[in-house]
Amino acid sequence: MSDLTLLIPAKNEKEALPVFLKEIQNFNYKKLIVIDTLDEETKSAVKDFNDIEIITQKNSGYGNALIEGINHCKTKYCCIINADSSMDPKYLNVMLDQCIDKDFIFASRYMKEGGSDDDDFITLIGNKIFSLIGKIFFNLKISDILYTYILGKTKSFQNLSLNYHDFRICVEIPIKVQRKNMNYNSIPSYERSRVGGKKKVNVFKDGFLILLALFRLFFYKK
């Protein structure tokens, strides 16, 4: 068995998750699925898959799903990859190879050869603005601050001491990686259209919360 665990947060993904698990069934990686406490439909949709481990979130929220999954992970490496099939697993081997001498590898939709079938004009502009803020105020050397297709050493993930329970964790991860002087790199990645369901992000509400999180992370250094 590989030293890599795929950490798959899944909430209301009864349509997408079985499709994604079939796509990655020949990947020799551990598959850890974190499912929201009340989401019985997604649990039922994957009951016939034998090569997966499911844990139920103790606390709701995307950030809590990642934190609880990271703390549960026992392999040397961990990769956050969404259940909706938008993050293409073909990049996993490259990310894993590059992570041997790094703490983290970030996938980016905004590098040359990257792209997205999921971005609209508003999300594209928002992502660009937040990434620019990350570069100017936090000295981040990544071009896609909100994209959580991230592979890293499990101990490095755990050493970040992540706190945000919702989508604000998207900016918390790279900022704390930079602040703790960890080694990281980026690779281009093409984001596919999601399978079934709908986006969990409220563009304006979550965008405002992320802006506040950036403000807080700038002044609060821990």
For residue 144, what is the enclosing H or E element?
none
Nearest Cα residue to 169 out of 213, 123, 221, 137: 213
Mean pLDDT (whole number) for 39-66:
94
The alpha carbon torsion through 106, 90, 88, 136 (nearest 10 deg) reads: 20
* pTM, rounded to two decimals: 0.94
222 confidence band (pLDDT: 50, 70, 90): low
Q: What is the pLDDT of residues 185-197, one digit of tens each?
A: 999 999 999 998 7
State the Rg of the chain over Cα: 16
What the chain holds in terms of domains, given with CATH numbers, is 4-219 (3.90.550.10)
List Cα–Cα distances, 87 to 11, 14, 84, 195, in angstroms. 16, 17, 8, 11
Average pLDDT of the chain is: 94
For residue 98, what is the enclosing H or E element?
helix 92-98
Most confidently predicted of 35-49, 113-127, 168-182? 168-182
**Tell me, what's the pLDDT at 86?**
96
Q: What is the largest CA-CA distance in the chain?
A: 48
pLDDT at 130 over 60: yes
